Amino acid sequence: MSVLTASPLLDLKGDFPGLTGDWAYLDTAATSQKPQAVIDAIARLYGPDYATVHRGVYERSATMTMRFEDARATVARFISAASPDEVVFVRGATEGINLVAQSWGQRLKAGDRVLISALEHHSNIVPWQILRDRTGIIIDVAPLTADGRIDEDALIAMIRPETRLVAIAHISNVLGGVVDARRIADAAHAAGALVMLDGCQAAPRLALDMAALDCDFYVLSGHKLYGPTGIGVLWARAEILESMPPWQGGGAMIETVTFEATTYAPPPGRFEAGTPHIEGVIGLAAAIDYVESIGIGRIHAHEAALVRQAREALSGINSIQVLGPENSAGILSFTMAGVHPHDIGTILDEAGVAIRAGHHCAQPLMNLLGVPATARASFGLYNSASDVERLVAGLTRVTRIFGVK
């Protein structure tokens, strides 16, 4: 337990009103708790600051528009984008991937190929299946290594002249493995393919630099980054966004409209039809400011230490099999022989420990692992060694109830 004794992050639970009381929250990979700074930013917006954006000529609307676009610049800085105009606000990573599939994907034709991996979230599987059923593209699936990482050698070998896009998770939401994104990007680009990264689990844990990653699309969700639900980001290279048609029509995404024809706004506005999720954007910017005030490197180191501690402690329970690589990033999935993960989750909840139990929106991965579901403990910057101790104590109680060791 001494590995975290000197951690400067151990007192941050007090910043999160949702963590008051006797509760160990270990489900951050599903959604993060919100710091008071984010709650305050949203409350101010809905109170004395509220007005619409991009429409009013009155002072408060103009001020809110400036804040909205300043938030776009905050996101661009956080991911080291070349320009805020490369940042498209969406409802979440799911919508971002669907936007790419439905807009950029219009150029694909029968026989073109999209390469994903065996551990992808449903959000990075189903949109390509919908596109496949409409256009006749082919979806290739890269295998995993024995310890549950994307097999990068195999994936690179699967890139063909017909491959148009490689779309993979930067960090697995189930097994926590981190992919060498730049290596994949270099191989894909050498073959003429583009790369999209699902950064939902990476954004709260890794320093992001779009140029260093050399990807072409990147998506993330605000609610996993200590921000609000209903807001996310699609980043894409400026020249790619410029070449993409709109995928939704309505207000704000146009330049001129007549009954005969419509001309569209340049990116990112072209992809943001309708009144935007103003409070989500402002809350996301506040969350980024909060995370940056702590330091993404410190957060990642803290979570990695908690995962190491948990893996070591669970190794003493014979019935538990921990899945995924040893150096998983903030995420720990496991099974217990003879006990369904839903039962594990229910008994832990009785002890005030919240984990995820299920297929984690990754049913193909569950099939590959040969299990119906897993239990998953996932850590955030507010967790501490005591949360790991409570997890282990709760799992020990599960073994007693079910008579396993």
Structural domain spans, the chain: 2-33+296-402, 38-293
Tell me how far apart the alpha carbons of residues 223 and 253 are, in angstroms, rounded to a whole number. Answer: 25
DSSP one-letter string for 74-142: HHHHHTT-S-GGGEEEESSHHHHHHHHHHTGGGG--TT-EEEEETT--GGGTHHHHHHHHHH--EEEEE
Residues 6+ apart with CB under 8 A from 232: 89, 90, 91, 92, 93, 94, 95, 96, 219, 220, 221, 222
**Could you tell me which of 244, 294, 291 has the C-alpha nearest to residue 269?**
244
pLDDT for 49 = 94
**Catalytic residue list contains 215:** no
Is residue 169 within 8 Å of 115, Cβ to Cβ? Answer: no
Helix (H) or strand (E) holding 376, with range, is: strand 374-378
At residue 9, the pLDDT reads 53
pLDDT reported for residue 5: 42
The stretches of 165-277 forming alpha helices (DSSP H) are 181-190, 210-213, 238-243
Task: Dihedral sign for Cα 51, 55, 61, 63, please.
Answer: positive
Helix (H, G, I), strand (E, B) or coil at 242: helix
pLDDT number for residue 25: 98
Look at residue 389 and give its three-state secondary structure: helix
Fill in the DSSP letter of residue 203. T
Question: Please, which residues have CB within 8 angstroms of residue 301's CB and are 6 or more apart in sequence?
Answer: none
Q: Length of the chain, please?
A: 405
> What CATH fold (topology level) applies to the domain 2-33+296-402?
Aspartate Aminotransferase, domain 1 (3.90.1150)
Residues of the chain with pLDDT under 50: 1-8
Strands 374-378 and 331-336: antiparallel
3-class state of residue 147 by DSSP: coil
Return the closest-CA partner of residue 365 out of 331, 405, 318: 331
The secondary structure element, H or E, covering residue 289 is helix 278-294
Q: Going by DSSP bridges, is the β-strand pair 374-378/113-117 parallel, antiparallel, or unpaired?
A: unpaired
Write down the pTM of the prediction: 0.96
Q: What is the CATH number of domain 38-293?
A: 3.40.640.10
Q: 79: closest CA among 184, 203, 183? A: 203
State the pLDDT at residue 6. Answer: 40
What is the number of other CB atoms lying within 10 angstroms of the CB of residue 362? 25
Map tokens 């029509």 to a residue: 249
The 10s digit of each residue's pLDDT in 154-181 is: 999 999 999 999 999 999 999 999 999 9
pLDDT at residue number 10: 52
Q: Backbone phi, then psi, for 396, in 5-degree steps?
A: -65, -40
Q: Which of 39, 238, 361, 371 is catalytic?
A: 361
Are the beta carbons of 19 and 324 closer than 8 angstroms? no
Is the preceding peptide bond at 127 cis, omega within 30 degrees of 0? no
